[in-house]
Structure 1
Amino acid sequence: MGLTSKKVLLLAVVAAVLLFALTVWLWPRLARRSAPAVLGRIGVLLATQLSILAAGGLSANFYFGFYASWADLLGTDQDMGVVVEHGEGPSKQLRVVGTQSVGTPGGGSPKRAGRIDKVQINGARTGIAAPAYVYLPPQYFQKQYARTQFPAALVLTGYPGTAENLITRLKYPQTATRHIAAGTMRPTILIMMRPTVAPPRDTECVDVPGGPQAESFFTRDMRAAVASHYRVGEQARSWGVIGNSTGGYCAVKLTMRNPQAFSAGAGLSGTYKAPQDPTTGDLFGGSTQYERENDMLWRLDHRPMPPASVLLASSKKGETNYRDTRAFIAKAKPPLRVSSIILDSGGHNLNTWNREVPPALDWLSKRLSAP
């Protein structure tokens, strides 16, 4: 059974409850001063505490989606390669490895609810290979749209989140299908991914000197691979990016630094500069200037405003990025256009992002167009 399985979580909770009850029942018998009794007390206390910790950890992972599998948790999930063969035809840039329904009423029919493809994206320029989920709106399968190119949005999780979390917890495809049907969102293709392209390292969407070229992968390889397989517009006006936490930083950064690739970006609970810690390593090759170039508040003071649109989401109570968000809004000038979602309260968690994703998706789709 998988790490995120409900059965595993239920078994852990039941085991914790049973061990707690067993400890209470056995305690009078273990109250003696003999060596077996002392060892027995140590044993039942240790077993109970470990089972409670396991149940708590599994519950947190089930809700927040930090790790997708046991291999991911233990750091042994190294299946994703970082080198691909060059000179391959366009069809080799993206490979569909599976499909699934959206999970809404009528979800069995792509013409009514759309479809989710599980794909492998192979970066012809960067040599990076990464998995993704691609949501195709219902219109993609309808006869009257057979020759239509659609706008597309890159959707990024936080770190170390999983792409599955965007489907099961933040429900991007389900929200998109409902909002498209209601007319508040334009039909848009969603490419759902993790922001890191060299796990377990947190690459923060940076072209690391001598390391993974994450920014180039998202701005060039990913867009080219999707366009080689799906009917999407190739110009920046057809592309946007949205994300939460680390993905929120990436969304704003990719848009501001690469307006030729993304015309709009929505950052939910994102910071405005990349951290450097044991999970990231040295992202900038020791260059202070390169680090500044990836600091969005610094760019607002020292670089020309990009011709793009950004949406910033924060909360007055519960988010650490609120002050920087207000500073960003105050510094921004045309042609950069800024919108915001500011909640009265909301922590750095899924509950907050679930309140922000629906209006953010509507905002993003309305700023994208396709030929």
Structure 2
Amino acid sequence: MPRVDPGPVLPDDVAQHAVARGILESPMIWRALLLAALVTAYFFFRPRRRVPTRITPPHSLTTRVVVVAALLGLSAVTWLNSYVGYVRTPHDLGLLLQRGTGWAAGFGSSLAAISAADDQYMSNARQALNNAQGGTRPADRPQGDPYAARMDRTTIPDPAHGVPVTAAQTNVMLPPGYDDPANRNRRYPVVYLIHGYPGGSADDWFTAGDAVNTMHQLLERQLVQPMIIVAPTVSAGVPTTDWECLNVPGGPQLESYLTETVVPRIDARYRTIADRRHRAIAGMSGGGFCALNVGLHHVDEYATMLVTLPYDDPGSAVSLLQGNPALIDANTPRRYIPTMPFPYPVAVMLDAGDHAQTDMTTSRRIAAALTARGQKVSMRFEPGLVHTWRTARAALPFLLAFANEQFTS
């Protein structure tokens, strides 16, 4: 295939910030828990001299086994999180627990509120210290920060397309100055961020994806223009299903929901530049397939597609298409790109970890197919990363910078 441009070049500190681990991603957590489990097991089960008069409670052995198993389980969970990078901070953990019910949801709400206040307090404290030392930290956002975004949590239900109000949460990040009366006539380009499958939600790109801090850095360094970021929930109320944003025969019509409902309502409610050239669709993993497939189906609506951890077929979600050959072909980009019409040009950026061979192969295949059709493609591989949220987070500043280039071209 012809050489593909690697995309935008960003300062090293921006790239390094994107791959930095959050406090709950530290490998020290699972190592400490594993050590605690081993030490506990040793003291619980080491050989001892028998004392005839000592009576051991009948439940003591079971209790000991449960304690050690719990520590091992926590070690395994925190190891997985260290590898995947899904829960970065206590605030992220609080938002995740809020998706549950009962005490977990209540605890999650409290944790999210407390940790958000603590994060702001610590951010301000670090900034004061840095200022006193004559330094600056772009990632810290003190009060009155001119680059601080405003988050707007809303719902966009669409029962006709199978999206009930309980599954319609949408997060909208509005750029700095959006509410300033001086900008009341200003309109902004839009990037739609689609979560992964299964188990994704509108929160993911703002927790695991760190979109707020990433955009803050890009704006503060004047690497991108202000833009609106929209993250809808596209799971039809059943997050355990691998929907891939498909229009499912007899089921949710998620592609139609995105293009016919979400986009028009966002354009109606917010000051967007409501044309294809200023609209991008992005996603990771299953959401990356969604961005590619939906974007290519609607080149009149999206001029830019941003895909990380890419797929060019629906994978296990093909079962939702009930074996219909026409539907399967129509939702398999590797099959239809070579013959599809391009009434409008598109720009696509692909990003994967350079330790994920399947993702790299898929990226190259998509890039070759699109460049053969005369479309603009950039491709980047993140050093040392695989198919996880850590890779998507590392990719995000480059994807947004690529979108900005298309918005301003």
Coarse TM-score class (shorter-chain normalised): 0.7 to 0.9
SS of residue in 2 equivalent to 1:118: strand
Does residue 52 of structure 1 match 2:72? Answer: yes
Change (3 A) 1:111 1:300: same
Does residue 298 of structure 1 match 2:335? Answer: yes
Q: Distance in 2 between matches of 1:72 and 1:113?
A: 26
Shift of 1:123: 2.9
Question: What does residue 214 of structure 1 align with?
Answer: 254
Give TM-score, length-normalised by structure 2: 0.71
Does residue 142 of structure 1 match 2:180? Answer: yes
The structure in which a higher percent of residues are helix is 2
User: Which one-letter code corresponds to 1:199 in the other structure?
Assistant: V
Say whether the 8 Å CA contact 2:200–2:235 is kept in structure 1. Answer: no
State the identity %. Answer: 18
SS of residue in 2 equivalent to 1:219: helix
Say whether the 8 Å CA contact 2:193–2:229 is kept in structure 1. Answer: yes
Shift of 1:60: 3.4
Q: Greater shift after overlay, 22-31 or 246-255?
A: 22-31
Say whether the 8 Å CA contact 2:248–2:321 is kept in structure 1. Answer: yes
Q: Greater shift after overlay, 155-164 or 294-303?
A: 155-164
User: Cα deviations across residues 67-104 of structure 1 (Å, max 9, x unaligned)?
Assistant: 95457569xx9xxxxxxxxxxxxxxxxxxxxx999985
Does residue 190 of structure 1 match 2:229? Answer: yes
Say whether the 8 Å CA contact 1:158–1:194 is kept in structure 2. Answer: no
Q: Distance in 1 between matches of 2:387 and 2:49?
A: 45
Shift of 1:269: 0.8
Say whether the 8 Å CA contact 2:201–2:235 is kept in structure 1. Answer: no
Change (3 A) 1:111 1:228: farther
Question: What does residue 176 of structure 1 align with?
Answer: 215
Question: What does residue 25 of structure 1 align with?
Answer: 43
Task: State how 1:302-341 maps to structure 2 within 5 Å.
Answer: 302-305=339-342, 307-332=345-370, 333-341=372-380
1:275 counterpart (299, 311, 315):
315
Change (3 A) 1:268 1:171: same
User: Cα deviations across residues 291-316 of structure 1 (Å, max 9, x unaligned)?
Assistant: 11111111122322462111111244
Question: What does residue 205 of structure 1 align with?
Answer: 245
SS of residue in 1 equivalent to 2:177: helix
Does residue 243 of structure 1 match 2:283? Answer: yes
User: Which one-letter code corresponds to 1:267 in the other structure?
Assistant: V
Q: Distance in 2 between matches of 1:328 and 1:12?
A: 38
How many residue pairs are counted as aligned between the two chains?
A: 341
Q: Greater shift after overlay, 12-21 or 109-118?
A: 12-21
Higher relative CO (Cα under 8 Å, sequence separation at least 6) belongs to: 2
Question: What does residue 82 of structure 1 align with?
Answer: none
Change (3 A) 1:339 1:22: closer
Structure 1 unaligned blocks of 5 or more: 78-98
Say whether the 8 Å CA contact 1:158–1:195 is kept in structure 2. Answer: no
Say whether the 8 Å CA contact 1:31–1:37 is kept in structure 2. Answer: no
Q: CA RMSD in A?
A: 3.9
Q: Distance in 1 between matches of 2:219 and 2:181?
A: 17
Change (3 A) 1:341 1:141: same
